[in-house]
Amino acid sequence: MSLSHAAPLPIKPRPYGYPAALDVFPVDPSCFYANTWGAPRSGGRRHEGVDIITARGKPLYAVRDGRVSKKYSGSALAGNGIAIEISDGTYYFYAHLDSFAEGIRKGSRVKAGDVIGYVGSTGNTLVPHLHFEIHPKGGKAVDPTPYIAQVDRCGYKGPKLPKISPPTTTTTEKPTTTAKPTTTEKPTTTARATTTTVKRTTTTVKRTTTTAKPTTTARATTTEKPTTTDQPTSSAPERDGYTPMSAGAPSVELTNSRVKAKATNRIKVSGEQMLPGNLVRADLKITVSGTTKTASVSVSNCDATPEKVVTVRSKRKATKTVVADLNASGEFCLVSSANARVKIEVRRAWTKADRQITITEEVTVLESVEGRKVPSKGNVIRVKFGNFESLPSKPNSVLLSVSATGGKSASTILLGRCGSRRTAFLRVKANEPASKEGWVSVRGGDLCVSATVKTPVVIKVLSVG
């Protein structure tokens, strides 16, 4: 069965040697996208697609001739999704659809440009957009941004995109679950005998709440089949009055890399990621896997004798939560009795003044809506943290992620405690997107936001102190 579309779409010749390239762009303008491939996502995952922000209800088009190989409804993260597979096994995945086009079902044949569904915000997002993935020959996802840029209809003006590389995978395995197909986490760091490289990521997204109706820039999360541990996750007992949180608490990932047997690995915590300096202890989640024999992992503040915290059997995985002391440089030391892969996540930390820093769920507290942007000329938008279930009502300070898109002229986003002077936080060039993360002191009050020119803005809370 072939489905029709309202109007013929421009079809560009595919580059020779790149069979996964697109024939048509998946959505009509106006729209916006940026290259967010590999960006941190909840649970330590990485973004394996591109988010095309556009209006709810717009038609979505098949990018190639093929068949509907998968159709998802009501997935917790992907929402409504659909996969279009072509003859060589390559498939294109669309997520967060509002609804499917009439007659679309698993096995349906489609032509490039056929309407297959409509833009929505189902799953783990509140912002209407298309999450789009490319899996050459049915294998792991590749960065789709250069592919969609070849048939761009949004007027992409971001940084220069990488060249498309010919697919090298020959994997034909396809996911069989009802969750959105995706790949497993790809470690990007390598441990050495005396040090561990820190990999940056962000926090867990679990609940998103806004003070305004979302219609503009925001990121949607990719889906992932939950990883099960072969050994029970356990928590260490209370240590000097500091008790570790549950294993499922929001966290930031410090490292996920191989460590060599009996080598001392110094892992920096203080000042890393979203964490401030002057930390003296941290609530850690330690996951050990990839061993060929039983391995024990011990930690210390690099001055004392290492204390064993977790043991894992050969080819198994084990997780332990523990509160560890840090040395004067904000580090702790880790030693494994055998070669292993060790993932370190931080959920809380304490300063010398015993002030607690807690990693929160990533909570969207402000999103611009159509016709209403962050105001200028002294007018402000007030954000009340107490309106959000997962945030304290009177935090001392908050770690914010602020994203904005410039209009015809440049703009500056100003933030501060309501009743106090706001200061410049993010400068946005005309017609370009910009983002920044940083701590803002609110001293138990509300957050006030303004701009020098009316500007669409998205603000997320990543951590509180």
pLDDT of res. 206: 34
Residue 361 within a domain: no
CB 239 within 8 A of CB 193: no
Structure tokens at 314: 């050969």
Structure tokens at 382: 């007030």
d(C-alpha 31, C-alpha 60), whole Å:
12
d(C-alpha 42, C-alpha 361), whole Å:
9
d(C-alpha 204, C-alpha 323), whole Å:
20
Please check whether residues 201 and 346 belong to one and the same domain.
yes
| Buried residues in 405-437 as b, exposed as e (16+ CB within 10 A) | bbeeebbbbbbbbeeeebeebbebeeeebbbeb
Side-by-side strand order, sheet with 307-312: 265-268, 331-336, 295-300, 307-312
Last residue of a domain, one of 118, 148, 179: 179
| pLDDT exceeds 70 at position 95 | yes
Beta strands 79-85; 59-61: pairing state: unpaired
CB 230 within 8 A of CB 308: no
pLDDT of res. 60: 95
Average of per-residue pLDDT values in the chain: 77
pLDDT of res. 361: 64
pLDDT tier for residue 244 given thresholds of 50, 70 and 90: confident
d(C-alpha 320, C-alpha 310), whole Å:
6
pLDDT of res. 432: 85
Beta strands 331-336; 295-300: pairing state: antiparallel
| pLDDT exceeds 70 at position 85 | yes
Please check whether residues 195 and 173 belong to one and the same domain.
no
pLDDT of res. 19: 73
d(C-alpha 55, C-alpha 157), whole Å:
19
Please check whether residues 31 and 47 belong to one and the same domain.
yes
pLDDT tier for residue 162 given thresholds of 50, 70 and 90: low
Q: What is the pLDDT of residues 276-304, one digit of tens each?
A: 788 899 999 999 999 999 999 999 999 88
Please check whether residues 91 and 21 belong to one and the same domain.
yes
Structure tokens at 315: 């080819």
Please check whether residues 170 and 286 belong to one and the same domain.
no
**If you search the block for the tokens 């993360």, which residue do you land on?**
437
| pLDDT exceeds 80 at position 121 | yes
119, 122, 128, 130: CA torsion to nearest 10: -50
Mean pLDDT of 110-134: 90
Please check whether residues 171 and 191 belong to one and the same domain.
no
Please check whether residues 149 and 294 belong to one and the same domain.
no
Please check whether residues 255 and 403 belong to one and the same domain.
no
d(C-alpha 131, C-alpha 82), whole Å:
11
Residue 443: DSSP 8-state: T
pLDDT tier for residue 83 given thresholds of 50, 70 and 90: very high
Question: In terms of Cα–Cα distance, which of 302, 286, 427 is closest to 343?
Answer: 286
Please check whether residues 340 and 373 belong to one and the same domain.
no
CB 288 within 8 A of CB 294: no
| pLDDT exceeds 80 at position 389 | no
d(C-alpha 203, C-alpha 140), whole Å:
24
| pLDDT exceeds 90 at position 132 | yes
Share of the chain above pLDDT 90, in %: 26
Q: What is the pLDDT of residues 414-441, one digit of tens each?
A: 899 988 888 999 998 888 888 888 888 8
Most confident segment among 140-154, 166-180, 186-200, 348-362: 140-154
Residue 147 phi/psi, 5° resolution? -70, -45
Last residue of a domain, one of 353, 383, 402: 353
Residue 358 within a domain: no
pLDDT of res. 9: 61
**SS3 at position 367:** strand
Residue 359 within a domain: no
Last residue of a domain, one of 143, 158, 179: 179
Mean pLDDT of 135-162: 83
The CATH number covering residue 121 comes to 2.70.70.10
* Distances, alpha carbon 91 to alpha carbons 4, 115, 276, in Å: 20, 17, 43
d(C-alpha 396, C-alpha 307), whole Å:
34
Residues spanned by the domain of 175: 1-179
Task: Report the amino acid identity of residue 385.
Answer: F
Please check whether residues 325 and 225 belong to one and the same domain.
yes
d(C-alpha 256, C-alpha 275), whole Å:
18
Q: What is the pLDDT of residues 437-446, one digit of tens each?
A: 888 888 888 8
d(C-alpha 115, C-alpha 117), whole Å:
6
Mean pLDDT of 318-326: 91
Mean pLDDT of 137-142: 90
Determine if the peptide bond prior to 30 is cis (ω within 30°). Answer: yes
Residue 381 within a domain: yes
Share of the chain above pLDDT 70, in %: 73
Q: What is the pLDDT of residues 175-224, one digit of tens each?
A: 444 444 444 444 443 333 333 333 333 333 333 333 333 333 333 333 34
**If you search the block for the tokens 């697109």, which residue do you land on?**
22
Residue 111 within a domain: yes
CB 418 within 8 A of CB 293: no
Give me the number of domains the chain comprises. 3
**If you search the block for the tokens 């290492």, which residue do you land on?**
306
pLDDT of res. 189: 39
Task: Report the amino acid identity of residue 152.
Answer: D
| pLDDT exceeds 50 at position 108 | yes
